[in-house]
Amino acid sequence: MAAPLPVLITGCSSGIGRACALRMHRAGTAVYATARKPETLARLAAEGIRTLRLDVTDEDSMRDAVDTVEAEHGSVGALVNSAGYAMSGVVEEAGLEDMRRQFETNVFGLARLSQLVLPAMRAAHSGTIVNVSSVFGRYAVPGGGFYQASKHAVEALSDALRLEVADFGVRVVLIEPGPVRTTGFGDTYVANLKPVNEEYEDFRRRTAEYFDAIYTGSRRTLAGTFAIHSDDVARVVEKAVRSTRPHARYPVGLLARSTIALRRLAPDAVFDNLFVRRVFPVPRNNADARRTTPSGPQPRHQGDQ
């Protein structure tokens, strides 16, 4: 089946967005690749891909990009909401402005851009909105609560929107990748793990090492072993865009499929203790761990490993 034309993609400066633009362009699709900084799109422009400035926190740039596509094609055939970043750190230490910035980019920008393309899609009785979520849109682990909350929000918005626009011929799809080897995303996540309270210092160190290993492959971890690449995700995005009857959700990678299934079936205590605490770094109360009584060490708290 031919892909709907054209395809507007956000977050194309690197990672999944860039991979989607290259894959669909090389397959003959009319692609509009966008990013907050147009200079980061030079490689895509050299491939013959149409590039535009689009900052998902800037209303004017979103309107301009959508207007450009609609002026040339009538409507956006498919919108791929790929732009986003991961805010890291424990919930206790998060700054209010950082929380707002995370949701402005990952949730509100995605929602507003979807609003802007929908009138012409409904008029054409055709169109697909593909929202790049994450395995962390289905469960959460320590150290990324607000990023994961933003992806949970994307999942809920997508579920509601899918039902709202189905009768108008518009399809809404969620892409749920597991860990993806992409340097820019990983660098941002690890760089955000800045020390605030010394009680979390050991957890920050272990978390930085853990995710650095996933994104760079510097050492072997379970998540790193099953990490996927940006083009693996782009292949699934292209499949969803080309389908006239796409699935509501596409988990990408063995880790995504298996852990989402486990989360659906396992009680919270089982999932927390037999999966999260065994696979991911978890904060430990080191002060309690050092304390002893005349009869021996204190009992281990649930939060300790």
Judged on CB neighbours under 10 Å (0-12, 13-18, 19+), 197 is exposed
d(CA 285, CA 36): 41
Nearest C-alpha neighbor of 184 from the set 82, 290, 262, 278 = 82
Q: Is 147 a catalytic residue?
A: yes
Cβ atoms within 10 Å, residue 231: 16
End-to-end CA distance of the chain: 51
Q: Which of 147, 210, 215, 250 is catalytic?
A: 147
Identify the residue whose tokens are 């995605």: 110
Pairing mode of beta strands 296-297, 292-293:
antiparallel
- Extract the tokens encoding 65: 């990009």
Nearest alpha carbon to residue 4 among 121, 134, 95: 121
Structure tokens at 121: 């899609």
Residues annotated as catalytic are 147
